[in-house]
Structure 1
Amino acid sequence: MGKPTGFIDFERRTRPERDPAERTKDWDNYTLPLDEKVLQEQGARCMDCGIPTCHTGAMLNGMTSGCPVHHLIPEWNDLVYQGQWEEALKREHKMNNFPEFTGMACPAPCEGACVLGINEPPVAIRSIELEIIERGFKEGWVKPEPPEVRTDKKVAVIGSGPAGLACAAQLNKAGHNVTVFERHDRIGGLLTYGIPEMKLPYAVVERRVNLLKEEGITFVTNTEVGKDYSASKLHSEFDSVVLCGGAAKHRDLEVEGRELKGIHYAMDFLHANTKSLLDSRLEDGNYISAKDKDVIVIGGGDTGTDCLATSVRHECKSLTQFDIYEKKGDTRPDDNPWPQWPVIHRVEYGQKEAAAVFGEDPRAYAVMTTKFVGDENGHVKEVHTINVETSVDDHGRRVRKEIPGTEKVWPAQLVLLAIGFSGPEQGLIKELAVETDERSNVKAEYGEYETNVEGVFAAGDMRRGQSLIVWAINEGREAARECDRFLMGETRLP
C-alpha cells in the first residue's frame, strides 16, 4: 500500500458519463476515460485491508459478493498508484482473460464487498480495471501469446460467449487444438448481441477475438452444433467437448393477449438492433423499431435498462419500465449487511437517458401485468396492470398480493419482455444424452464441470443458469482446467 491515507485524502471518482441527452443521438460508448492522475488517486484509496474481501467471489444470500475470478485487486490498485501500469496489466490478466469485458459490463460485485464500502464509498475498482487494459492495448503491451508446444488433442467449445471464450483461451494456453463453434454470424455470444454498442462496443469484442485467432484458436461461425454439425461428428472429430451455450431459453409472460403482434422478447429486440447496426448502421431496416411508439419494458434488470437505452435512440414516443418490486431505499436494509451485494436504489445509464429525454425516471414500481389488449389488426395497443405487494412466505417463496383499486391501462405499441431466462435450449443437450438438473441446466458439479458423458464438460450459464459475465469467465477457466486434466492426466492451468 503506497499511501496509507489515500482513502481519506481522495473521494471516489468513476469514469465520467457523456451528457445523457446528447449521447442518445449516437451509438458510441456512453462513458469517457479518467485521466492518469485521477486513476492513481483512485488506486491510492485501496486500504491494504488485513483480509480483503473484494476478490472472494462468494454467494451470500443468493447474490454474488466479491469477484468470482478472484482478481488480484489490491495488487493492481497499488501498482496503478505507483504508476507501474504494465505490471498492473500482468496482475490483471493473471486471473481474468478479458478485463475489458468485465470493466465495461460487469455490475462490479467486487465493489459491493470492498471493505472501505462499510462506511465510505468503495474503491472505484471497475473503472481502474478498465483503464489498465485499455492502456495495455494502447501501449501495445497486449500481444498474442501462442503456446510454445502443441499437444495432439482436439477440443470443441460450443458457444462463444464469455464462458466459451475463457475456456478456449485457457485450453489453447495448455497447447490443445481448440475449435469454437458459434451459431450466429459473429463471435461473442451475448457479449456481441446481448449487450448494446454504447455499453460494450463490438470493436472491443472483435479486438480480443482477433488476438485469440492469432494465438491459434479456430472459430467457426453460422454453425449450430446439433443442427448444422451433428453430435456424432463432434464425438468422432474431437477428444473432448465443453458446452458453453448459455441459457438462451426465454422466460415468458403467460397472460391474456400474449400472442399479439408487437410483443417481443428483449433479447430478440437487442440482437436484431445490434446486427442491423453492425451490418448497415440500421439502414437495412432489419430490426424491431421503437420509433414513434409507446414502449413498455417489462423487467427491472440490466437487460431492461439496455432496452430503454436502445428505444430512446430509436426516438420512441414514450417509455416506461415495469419493476415488479417496490422502489428500494438509498441505503442497505438491515437484512442486507456488508459484504453482501447492496440491494439499494440505482439509476443506471438507460434510466438517466430516458429521464433526460422524457423528463422523469421511466420506472413504475410494484407493477404486475394482467393482460395485453390489441387493435383490430391483432397488434398490441394497451397493457393492463395492477400494483402488488411482495412478501416471502415461511418456505422462502415470494408471494404477491394484488392491491385492489390500483388497476391501470397503459398505451403501448411495442412491449419488450426482459424477465430473464429459464435455462439452456435442450436440443443439443438431448442429442448428446447429457443429464440435466431440476432447473433444466446441464448437470455438472461446480469445480468439476464434467457431465455424465465422459469427456463432455459444461460451464457458464448452461451449467449454472442465468448469471454474470464474471461467473461465466470463472467457470470457463475452471472447466478448461478440468478438461485439460481429463486429456493429459494432470494440469498446470489455474
Structure 2
Amino acid sequence: MGKSTGFLEYERKTGPVSAPGERIKNFRDFHGTLSEEQQRLQGARCMECGVPFCQAGVMIAGMASGCPLHNLVPEINDLVYRGNWEQAYIRLSKTHCFPEFTSRVCPALCEAACTCGLHGEPVSTKENEKAVIEYAFSKGLVKADSPRVRTGKTVAVIGSGPAGLAAALLLNRRGHSVTVYERSDRPGGLLRYGIPNMKLEKGIIDRRIRLMEEAGVRFECGVDVGRNLPGKELLKKYDRILLAGGASNPRDIEVPGRDAKGIYFAVDFLKNVTKTLLDSNFKEIPYYLARGKKVLVIGGGDTGNDCVGTVIRLGAASVAQLEMMPKAPAGRMANNPWPEWPKVLKTDYGQEEAIDRFGHDPRIYQTTVTEFLKNKKGDICGAKTVQLAPVRDEKTGRMRMEPVPGTEKEIPADLVLIAAGFLGSESYSAETFGVKLDGRTNVETAPGSYCTENTRIFTAGDMHRGQSLVVWAIAEGTEAAARIDESLMGYTGL
C-alpha cells in the first residue's frame, strides 16, 4: 500500500485556507484544494501499517477510534497515490454513502487513529477522500443508481438528516420504494440547518438530493410527522418505518432571567441565518441578528464554535464563549495514549476568526451562568457567571464540576446563544407511533438492535444513540437499512 517510505519522505500538507480577515466577509466555503500531484503525495504517506486503526471504528476507553464506517482507508490512499481516482471512488463507495459531507464536517476519526500520528503527523485521509469524491462528481461517476427491479415493499423514513438519507439511499438502491418525510422546508436535517454554509455549502446537499430523487426516492418536506401527520396514517401506508429525526431536543439553561428577550437556542439561530441566506439566494445577509451586539455563546463544542463564526460574519461587536470543562492540554497526556481519541486543545475556525478579529481567544473555561440579567424592557443585557472546579464524587469516583465561591462575575451581553448540547429526541415523534423512549429519551431498542418493540418500526442516528457525529449517523443509517431490508426480504443484500 502506498509508498513504503512515503511517510518519511513527504510531510503532511493540507489545502490552503483563506485568512480569517477575508473569509469572515461572506458565508462561502473558505477551504482550497491541493494540486493533483500534491494530493497523490499525501496518499503516498499511508504507511501500510500492520493494524490499520484508521478503519477500525472501535470504542476504546469510551471513545471511538477509527472510522465507524470502516472505510478501506489504506486501499483508498494507495489508489490516490497511484492516481487511480476512479478505482479510489469505487473503493470508497463500497462503505460510504456521502463522503462529500464527512470530508467537510467530520473531525476525522480516521486521522486521529492513524499510525503515522503516533510519532508524527497523520495521513491527510479526510482531504484525500474529498479529492476522490469531488473527482468522481466532476467526471460523472456518481450516478443516480436506480434499481433495476422494484420489490413492491414500501418504507417511510422520518427525518432527512445524515442517518435518514443514508438509509433512504440504500433501501431505494435495494429496490424498495422509499419516501422521506422532513418537517423543514428543505431536506438535509442537521446538514442543512444545523451546520453553517461556510462549513458545508448547501449546494453540496442539493447535488446529492437531486441524484436520489432521480433514482426514485421521494421527499415530502414541510411535513411534521406526529403533529400534522399522525403516525397511524403512515403505518397504514408503509410496510416499514424508520425514525431518524435526530436528537433535536436542545438542553436549556434553567437559571433566573431565562425569559429575557434575546436568548436563543443555537440550532434555532443557525437555522434562521441559513434559511435567510437560502431564501434570498445569498442576497440578504441577516446582519440585524448580531451587528453591533455583545454576544455570549454558552457551550464549547462544535455548535458553539459555529455560533462564534456566524456572529462574527454578522458583525458582532464582541464574542465570549463559555466552556464548563477545563482547558485541554496542547498534546496527549500519558493517560490518553494513541489510538484513543486525542483529548487535546482544538482551536477551530470560529475561534481563529475571533482571535483575528478581537485579539483574543473567546473561550472562558470552567465557567457557567448562574443568572441572566434583563433591562427594564425585558431584553437581555448580561449574565452572572461563576467559575467551576473539578471535584471527585466519593461514591461514584467520577469528576464533577462544582461552583467556586467568591468567583462570581458579570458579562455584558445583548445576544445569548445556548449551544449546550441536546437531551435526545422530541417525544412526540415517538409517541405518534406508540414506541417507547429510554432513560436518555432516545427511541428504545434492544442492545445492538435498530428495531423497536413494534417490529415494523426501526430507528437510527441521534434518535437512536443520542447526540453524535455525522459519520456515526451515516453508519447508523447504513446498518438500519440492512436490518429493515432483512426484515422485509428474509435476508439482506446490503
Same topology, TM > 0.5: yes
Instruction: Assess if the C-alpha contact under 8 Å between 1:435 and 1:442 holds in 2.
Output: yes
- Give the direction of change, closer, same or farther, for the CA distance of 1:486–1:287 in structure 2 (3 Å limit): farther
The equivalent of 2:188 in structure 1 is 188
Instruction: Assess if the C-alpha contact under 8 Å between 2:298 and 2:420 holds in 1.
Output: yes
User: Cα offset for 1:396?
Assistant: 4.7
The equivalent of 2:302 in structure 1 is 302
Instruction: Assess if the C-alpha contact under 8 Å between 2:324 and 2:401 holds in 1.
Output: no
The equivalent of 1:60 in structure 2 is 60
Question: 2: distance between equivalents of 1:203 and 1:288?
Answer: 25
Q: Structure 1 unaligned segments of length 5 or more: list them.
A: none
The equivalent of 1:356 in structure 2 is 356
The equivalent of 1:439 in structure 2 is 440
Aligned AA (1:84): N
Aligned AA (1:466): Q
- Give the direction of change, closer, same or farther, for the CA distance of 1:85–1:24 in structure 2 (3 Å limit): same
Matched, 1:126 2:131: no
Question: 1: distance between equivalents of 2:37 and 2:101?
Answer: 24
Instruction: Assess if the C-alpha contact under 8 Å between 1:113 and 1:339 holds in 2.
Output: yes
The equivalent of 2:7 in structure 1 is 7
What SS class does the counterpart of residue 485 from structure 1 fall into? Answer: helix
Relative to the length of structure 1, the TM-score reads 0.97
User: Cα offset for 1:477?
Assistant: 0.7
Question: 1: distance between equivalents of 2:456 and 2:216?
Answer: 22
Which sits farther off after the overlay, 392-401 or 319-328?
392-401
- Give the direction of change, closer, same or farther, for the CA distance of 1:24–1:285 in structure 2 (3 Å limit): closer
Instruction: Assess if the C-alpha contact under 8 Å between 2:30 and 2:198 holds in 1.
Output: yes
| 1:47-446 map, 5 Å | 47-280=47-280, 289-394=289-394, 395-445=396-446
User: Cα offset for 1:447?
Assistant: 4.2
User: Cα offset for 1:427?
Assistant: 0.6
Structure 1, residues 271-327: CA drift from partner, whole Å, max 9, x if none?
Answer: 110000100156668797111100010100000000011000000010111111121
Structure 1, residues 43-85: CA drift from partner, whole Å, max 9, x if none?
Answer: 1111101110001112222322110111111110000000000
Matched, 1:453 2:454: yes
Instruction: Assess if the C-alpha contact under 8 Å between 2:2 and 2:43 holds in 1.
Output: no
What SS class does the counterpart of residue 53 from structure 2 fall into? Answer: coil
User: Cα offset for 1:242?
Assistant: 0.6
Question: 2: distance between equivalents of 1:303 and 1:25?
Answer: 20
| 1:22-37 map, 5 Å | 22-37=22-37
Instruction: Assess if the C-alpha contact under 8 Å between 2:287 and 2:314 holds in 1.
Output: no
Aligned AA (2:461): G
Question: 1: distance between equivalents of 2:156 and 2:328?
Answer: 44
User: Cα offset for 1:390?
Assistant: 2.0
Question: 2: distance between equivalents of 1:293 and 1:396?
Answer: 42
User: Cα offset for 1:340?
Assistant: 0.9
- Give the direction of change, closer, same or farther, for the CA distance of 1:86–1:202 in structure 2 (3 Å limit): same
Instruction: Assess if the C-alpha contact under 8 Å between 1:485 and 1:491 holds in 2.
Output: yes
Question: 2: distance between equivalents of 1:401 and 1:374?
Answer: 26
Question: 2: distance between equivalents of 1:398 and 1:266?
Answer: 27
User: Cα offset for 1:155?
Assistant: 0.4
Question: 2: distance between equivalents of 1:169 and 1:268?
Answer: 28
Instruction: Assess if the C-alpha contact under 8 Å between 2:304 and 2:419 holds in 1.
Output: yes
Which sits farther off after the overlay, 400-409 or 84-93?
400-409
What SS class does the counterpart of residue 423 from structure 1 fall into? Answer: coil
Question: 2: distance between equivalents of 1:12 and 1:386?
Answer: 42
Relative to the length of structure 2, the TM-score reads 0.97
Instruction: Assess if the C-alpha contact under 8 Å between 1:423 and 1:462 holds in 2.
Output: yes
Question: 2: distance between equivalents of 1:173 and 1:251?
Answer: 37
Aligned AA (1:163): A
Instruction: Assess if the C-alpha contact under 8 Å between 1:276 and 1:287 holds in 2.
Output: no
Q: Which runs of 4+ in 1 moved over 4 A?
A: 281-288
Which sits farther off after the overlay, 459-468 or 286-295?
286-295
Question: 1: distance between equivalents of 2:203 and 2:123?
Answer: 28
Question: 2: distance between equivalents of 1:119 and 1:152?
Answer: 54
Instruction: Assess if the C-alpha contact under 8 Å between 1:272 and 1:287 holds in 2.
Output: no
Structure 1, residues 206-264: CA drift from partner, whole Å, max 9, x if none?
Answer: 10011111111011000011122211110110000011000100101111111111111
Question: 1: distance between equivalents of 2:442 and 2:247?
Answer: 8
User: Cα offset for 1:406?
Assistant: 2.4
Identity of aligned residues (%): 48
Q: Structure 2 unaligned segments of length 5 or more: list them.
A: none
User: Cα offset for 1:118?
Assistant: 1.0
What SS class does the counterpart of residue 289 from structure 2 fall into? Answer: coil
Question: 2: distance between equivalents of 1:45 and 1:161?
Answer: 34
Aligned AA (1:442): V
Instruction: Assess if the C-alpha contact under 8 Å between 2:246 and 2:463 holds in 1.
Output: yes
- Give the direction of change, closer, same or farther, for the CA distance of 1:99–1:336 in structure 2 (3 Å limit): same
Question: 2: distance between equivalents of 1:304 and 1:239?
Answer: 40
Instruction: Assess if the C-alpha contact under 8 Å between 1:158 and 1:245 holds in 2.
Output: yes
Which sits farther off after the overlay, 385-394 or 460-469?
385-394
- Give the direction of change, closer, same or farther, for the CA distance of 1:463–1:118 in structure 2 (3 Å limit): same
Which sits farther off after the overlay, 395-404 or 382-391?
395-404
The equivalent of 1:463 in structure 2 is 464
Question: 2: distance between equivalents of 1:76 and 1:392?
Answer: 45
Aligned AA (1:405): G
Structure 1, residues 420-474: CA drift from partner, whole Å, max 9, x if none?
Answer: 0001001121121102211110012454301001210000000100001011000
Aligned AA (2:470): I
Question: 1: distance between equivalents of 2:287 and 2:195?
Answer: 15
Instruction: Assess if the C-alpha contact under 8 Å between 2:163 and 2:478 holds in 1.
Output: yes
Instruction: Assess if the C-alpha contact under 8 Å between 2:77 and 2:128 holds in 1.
Output: yes
Instruction: Assess if the C-alpha contact under 8 Å between 1:66 and 1:110 holds in 2.
Output: yes
User: Cα offset for 1:141?
Assistant: 1.4
Question: 2: distance between equivalents of 1:11 and 1:392?
Answer: 42
Instruction: Assess if the C-alpha contact under 8 Å between 2:156 and 2:240 holds in 1.
Output: yes
Question: 2: distance between equivalents of 1:352 and 1:276?
Answer: 25
Question: 2: distance between equivalents of 1:335 and 1:30?
Answer: 36
